[in-house]
Amino acid sequence: LLCPAEASKRAEEEADTPDLGGQSDDSSDEGDASGDTEMDFLRSLFSRTLGLSPGEKVLDELTLDGVARYILSGKCKNIICMVGAGISTSAGIPDFRSPGTGLYANLQKYNLPYPEAIFQIDYFKIHPEPFFALARELYPGQFKPTVCHYFMRMLKDKGLLTRSFSQNIDTLERVAGLEGEDLIEAHGTFHTSHCVSFLCRKEYSMDWMKSTVLSPLCGCISSPILDIVFFGENLPDRFFTSMKMDFPRCDLLIIMGTSLQVQPFASLVSRVSNSCPRLLINMEKTGQVCN
């Protein structure tokens, strides 16, 4: 990018105008015209730098009403939702980081070395009991979907939802009516459960998991049973294949209830095109990447 002085000089040269700075006293109209020319140049420069075509405008105004009109216009056909724990708090499921009420602030009874350890794969392999105790408190069947979940279901019913990329493991998207093809459960799910041993991978039903009083272990070599992605583990392959396929054609990205502090999920916000509007619905600000 050029500094204002350089940009002004470049604009003067390209326009072949002797005085774009409004130095002449002959007419105020001449000064206004020169200002318009300079602003047109700057708009064009910024547009080229950002990869946007000059004058490109997707929303008629930067408001929820503007987004709604865009959705109703028929030009918006591929909506992606990115959601986190914040969309389930009104269902009674705590998020992670809210002071006082968040999950990390209420794990004292598990005697963890630090709150995040409950989701660390190395800690889980040695001490799986705290995670399974927490899982029994949060297990599906005890909570109902929220308005956010049914909003995504409505987008699906209207043929507008390309995919919902979710950080949640509570399965409330499925309860609301989204199916496997509609969802990328980036951090795993309670909907399915398999033995973690690569030599076994036996599948267990949700009813069996729910009825298990102690930590569920497979009979093969007493391996834990779950389909949750822990810190330190790779995300499912489908996350990456869908990311490459879905985001280039996205024409509206709706981000709801996530702090965008966990990678690589958080980086998805930058994978849409420069012309794609991004709507953030949150109780508080996230990282600068969404601003």
pTM of the complete model beyond 0.85: no
pLDDT at 85 (0 to 100): 87
Q: What whole-number distance in Å separates Cα of residue 238 and Cα of residue 219? A: 28
127 part of the active site? no
Among the options 127, 149, 187, 194, which is catalytic? 187
pLDDT tens per residue across span 148-177: 999 999 999 999 999 999 999 888 999 999
Element (H, E) at 253: strand 252-256
CATH 3.40.50.1220 domain position(s) in the chain? 64-191+227-290
pLDDT tens per residue across span 23-70: 444 444 555 555 566 766 666 665 555 555 545 688 888 899 999 999
In the numeric block, the tokens 């326009």 are attached to: 15
pLDDT at 245 (0 to 100): 95
- Domain 64-191+227-290: CATH architecture, name and number where available: 3-Layer(aba) Sandwich (3.40)
Bind-site residues for NAD(+):
85-89, 95-97, 167-170, 258-259, 282-284
pLDDT at 149 (0 to 100): 96
Amino acid at 44: S
Bind-site residues for Zn(2+):
195, 200, 218, 220
Is 255 within 8 Å of 231 (Cβ atoms)?
Answer: no
Q: What whole-number distance in Å separates Cα of residue 55 and Cα of residue 188? A: 42
> Where would I find the beta strands (DSSP E) of 84-182?
161-166
Amino acid at 276: C
Mean pLDDT of the chain: 77
Bind-site residues:
85-89, 95-97, 167-170, 195, 200, 218, 220, 258-259, 282-284
pLDDT at 56 (0 to 100): 66
Give the residue ranges of DSSP H helices in 51-146.
Answer: 64-72, 121-126, 129-138
pLDDT at 121 (0 to 100): 82
Average pLDDT score over residue span 182-193: 83
Q: What whole-number distance in Å separates Cα of residue 212 and Cα of residue 233? A: 25
pLDDT tens per residue across span 202-252: 777 667 666 664 566 666 765 666 677 888 778 888 999 999 999 999 999
Q: What whole-number distance in Å separates Cα of residue 19 and Cα of residue 9? A: 10
